[in-house]
Amino acid sequence: MRAAVYDAPGLPLRIAEVPDPRPGPGQAVIRVSACGVCGSDLHATTAGADLARRGAVLGHEVTGEIVEIGPEPVGDWTVGDRVYAIPLGSCGRCPHCLLDRPEECPNQITFGALGPDEPDGAYAEYLTVSLSDLLPVPDGVGMEVAALCEPLATGLVCVRQASLDIGDRVLILGAGPIGLAATIWARFFGARRVAVSERVEHRRELAMRLGATDTIDASSGTDVAAQFAELTGAEPDAVIEAVGRPGMLNAAIAAVRPQGTVVTGGVCMEPDSFDHLLAYYKEPVIRTARVYTKAENQFILEMIAAGRIDPAPMISHRIGLDALPDAFEALRTPTDQCKVMVLP
């Protein structure tokens, strides 16, 4: 099959012929319909980070069609089923997997090659996945939109970790896919105000389309906390950090109300410091956000199918596999892109 192979930091992805994947016990092979390009793929392949496995295939925001089912199948799947694959790959055979709670699997290995031991991902024509990680794509939901389930799940975890109360005011730092997904869910779960700070005008507009009540131009020199207070009449009860650069955690602590909640949704790839004295006085709850459950993913697909959320505007570009190496490099200095969807 054809795939985009990652060789080393500083080199663009390379389209190559690689061996066709075969399903092991409890696994299926899917023909990839859509795979979103994720910021973590960019982070992991920068020279400084160098986290991705060399010679591997990245990509973990994927929908596809089952083309082959391996031995010892679990669940009620057949060839031709349209599926979304949860990338927190489970073994499919332990008691947790057999009870349909793959997020508790002790043998979990995320696919998408973001670590030295992780299996290949979906910037390719085909992908091997555990049957226990699959969810059906509901009728009427397009495969591209269903592939947004992964960033939507990460945004949902951010909002879950923020433990919102009725009528809370929320500040979201950054309107990339995770910040936008968190915007959708903060609105969905009843925040009174959802203000999104972002430098890029086009992304601020997108935030408004997806449910933000206010936006703040975060260009240099802006006092985001002061602007938030001016717009909403109070400090934010929760701040969701979705940029992942040094200094952002401190900015979130500086903006949140005393004893409010800070969620680190953006992953900062280098050690970062914050003002302990400021945190000491404010006593914020600081929480990370990583693992979503299968039930949460199921919920997201249902909400899309029911028309209660519409994440489709997050997709800014649709490309074939051949265009991926160039598009991937272009995303390192983003301009008007949001979610780039690869349609192999």
Site for Zn ion, rule CB under 5 A: 38, 90-91, 94, 97, 105
Q: Report how far residue 219's alpha carbon sits from residue 185's, in angstroms, rounded to the nearest whole number.
A: 25
Contact 325, 14 (CB under 8 A): yes
DSSP, collapsed to helix, strand or coil, labels residue 208 as helix
CB of 42 to Zn ion, least distance (A): 10
- Give the residue with the Cβ less far from Zn ion, 105 or 304: 105
CB of 179 to Zn ion, least distance (A): 13
Main-chain dihedrals φ then ψ at residue 87, nearest 5 degrees: -75, -15
CB of 108 to Zn ion, least distance (A): 7
Q: Give every CB contact of residue 113 below 8 A, 6+ residues apart in sequence.
A: 6, 52, 53, 56, 57, 58, 119, 120, 121
CB of 11 to Zn ion, least distance (A): 21
CB of 98 to Zn ion, least distance (A): 8
- Give the residue with the Cβ less far from Zn ion, 110 or 250: 110
- Give the residue with the Cβ less far from Zn ion, 151 or 344: 151
Contact 313, 212 (CB under 8 A): no
Q: Quick one: tokens of 273?
A: 């410091």
- Give the residue with the Cβ less far from Zn ion, 124 or 191: 124
CB of 294 to Zn ion, least distance (A): 12
Cβ count near 49 (within 10 Å) = 15
CB of 160 to Zn ion, least distance (A): 17
Q: Which of 34, 58, 169 has its CA nearest to residue 111?
A: 58
CB of 105 to Zn ion, least distance (A): 3
Q: Report how far residue 109's alpha carbon sits from residue 65's, in angstroms, rounded to the nearest whole number.
A: 22
Give the distance, in angstroms, between the CA of residue 293 and the centroid of all CA atoms in the same chain: 13
Contact 17, 2 (CB under 8 A): yes
Cβ count near 312 (within 10 Å) = 13
Q: Report how far residue 29's alpha carbon sits from residue 64's, in angstroms, rounded to the nearest whole number.
A: 9
Q: Quick one: tokens of 269?
A: 């790839």
Q: Are strands 56-57 and 2-6 parallel, antiparallel or unpaired?
A: antiparallel
